[in-house]
Structure 1
């Protein structure tokens, strides 16, 4: 994104303020009775030192002191420079100033360094301070733009990394599933390979996009559940409640898949009681709700230190990057079940 010209250059600002200073000074002295030409040259002579000081501050001193974070020292130095510059300017131009003043003042003998210098010094200080303030704002906005661009680049790189981690993780689990099913039923394994290829096609063509229709993500989850049911020969009690009519919302691809994948991966395998997975996805009051539950076996204390999967860890990071302050995620684990509860505000899915 190109930066605005106002944020790229300081000299137009300095030139504009200098011209305004010349015009205002010219109008002031001319209205007091000084002829046009003398009023013009007097305005130019008084304004040039202020413009030079402004260039000095903006292009040399201010950037140096900003990098060193010594703005108080810069302010003190700027006051000293303005004081010296104003003193030299008034001293050199005093004959012309007093000559001009003698033409319009009732008591020209009062024209002197002690009467002219304070006003000139304050005017130079005000002009230079205004320009430095604008220059400081430019640097501040430029820093914000560069920081935002760097932040966006970092987020894009991190999102690519997280997605690259997710896809091999998913493929590893599914290939394991197909391998198990081949030993049970080669025909169903062949059908499962075809369905799996459709899922991979989804990952290759759709998951690379920043956002996809919510309906496509739900269809992918439905295919995933069907494939897992075939692999397990329907030995699980899987209950799915999908929203039938989904609005045209958009969501980051594969943001919901890790929850379903995790449920099938860690579901219990009891021989004497039901093993279940429950999936609910619905919209209510401008919020998308996604709830995944699965039964689990009691965790043995010796298994507490075993490595956890990267699926849920990745999805936490993706949600934080994609929907900051626009989602709520709760993962609870009890003695007999695991529950993942996710809310996403639909205003970020439009």
Structure 2
């Protein structure tokens, strides 16, 4: 329906423009008619003159262009187009000589021989102009449609990749937490039921909230607090956690599961591999859309698995997809692991 409407608008606009030119050209040859009568005759003539132009125009639009795009034999395409142009010119001259000049203008305008060279060349210009204009519009529309399809495909690709990364993060988090529960279960700890309950709350969040495009910073921090409480139960007194917050707007939207992997990493490759007292110091600041998250933990000797290839690499890729303006700094020292993340939350990409 939209395409039909565009075609109708194009031909109405062209016919009105052609009628105006026809009115200007024939005004001096029809002194006995009023302006309104001359304009109505010009519109009548323009409409009739448009009919043979339709043949060539739609032949080019729906026969020539598809064949060219498919890479068909160009010589044969040119030959067929030339034949169609000749047929159109003959109809064009017949319409002018035996209808427009005789019926509409009642022989007030002097006719020329049917195949006079100057009139044929004028016909080529007239027919060629409208056909070329229509083709130009079609090519522009095809290019815009191709760009829109490319944009949709890119959006779909990014959404799929982001979903894949998040789906990797969720089982990874679950795997780490189940390890914690397993360790307590082996000790037959009375804290095991409480940890299972807290885990169920976190999983509920991941199932129903992490699928959203964005959540509030308050929701993200609540999940982090729940995770910290879960870990405190496991490590008890040998773990010192400091979490500083300086936030001017807790309702600021952020991508879900953005900060939790850093916290997981601090426990998995810091606290869990440290034999003595451990610490995790975190600080989160938000001022006018600029988020800064700093997390530092102590660790012992470097081990082959001390770099969390799944968690941190996933977050790094998610940041590349979601935020145009961000900086992720990782400091891996012999006894300290520190991450400094800075994000302009207003630079969130519309995927």
Confirm whether residue 16 of structure 1 aligns to residue 18 of structure 2: no
Cα displacement (A) at 1:32:
3.2
Match of 1:330? Answer: 329
Residue aligning to 2:159: 156
Contact 2:15-2:47 at 8 Å conserved across structures: no
SS in 1 for 2:237: coil
Q: Displacement of 1:287 after TM fit? A: 0.7
**Does the Cα contact within 8 Å between 1:250 and 1:349 map onto a contact in 2?**
no
| Corresponding position of 2:194 | 191
Matches within 5 A, 1:220-231: 220-231=223-234
For residues 193-229 of structure 1, the C-alpha deviation after alignment (integer angstroms, 9 at most, x for no partner) is 2222222222233223222211011011112122212
Deviation at 1:84, TM superposition (A): 3.5
From 173, 180, 202, give the equivalent of 1:177: 180
Partner of 2:90: 88
Following superposition, the deviation at residue 102 of structure 1 comes to 7.7
Aligned equivalent of 1:315: 315
Question: Which range moves more in the overlay, 89-98 or 199-208?
Answer: 89-98
Describe the shift of the 1:75–1:124 C-alpha distance in structure 2 as closer, same or farther (beyond 3 A).
farther
Give the Cα separation in 2 of the matches to 1:334 and 1:74: 72
Q: TM-score, normalised by structure 1?
A: 0.79
CA offset digits 1:144-171 (Å, max 9, x no partner): 3333333333333333322222211111
Instruction: Work out which of the residue numbers 254, 258, 261 in structure 2 matches 1:258.
Output: 261
State the secondary structure of the residue aligned to 2:66: helix
Distance 1:109 1:134 in 2: 34
Measure, in 2, the Cα distance between the counterparts of 1:205 and 1:157: 18
Determine whether 1:43 maps to 2:46: yes
What runs of 5+ residues in structure 1 fail to find an aligned partner?
A: none
Task: For 1:32 and 1:308, locate their aligned partners in 2 and report how far apart those are by CA, in whole Å.
Answer: 87
Superposition deviation, residue 253 in structure 1: 1.6
Superposed CA offset, 1:76-113 (max 9, x none):
789857863564346545745887798456xx789972
2:66 to 63, 69, 72: 63
> Deviations for 1:248-294, whole angstroms, at most 9, x for unmatched residues?
2112221211111011111164557x643221111135311112222
Q: Go from structure 1 to structure 2 and tell me whether the alpha carbon gap of 1:296 and 1:190 turns closer, same or farther (over 3 Å shift).
A: same
SS at match of 1:207: coil
Kept after mapping to 2: 8 A contact 1:330/1:340: yes
Matches within 5 A, 1:240-259: 240-243=243-246, 246-259=249-262
Q: Tell me the equivalent position of 1:287.
A: 290
- Tell me the residue number matched to 1:346: 345
The structural deviation recorded for 1:114 is 3.0
Do 2:184 and 2:234's aligned partners in 1 also have CA atoms closer than 8 Å?
yes
Name 1:31's counterpart in structure 2: 27
Give the gaps of 5 or more residues in structure 2.
none
Matched residue count: 338
TM-score by length of 2: 0.79
Contact kept? 1:18, 1:51, Cα under 8 Å: no
Whole-angstrom CA distance in 1 between matches of 2:343 and 2:3: 37
Q: CA RMSD in A?
A: 3.8
Tell me how far apart the structure 2 counterparts of residues 74 and 347 of structure 1 sit (CA, whole Å): 56
Contact 2:19–2:45 (CA<8 Å) still a contact in 1?
no
Q: Which segment is superposed worse, 310-319 or 180-189? A: 180-189
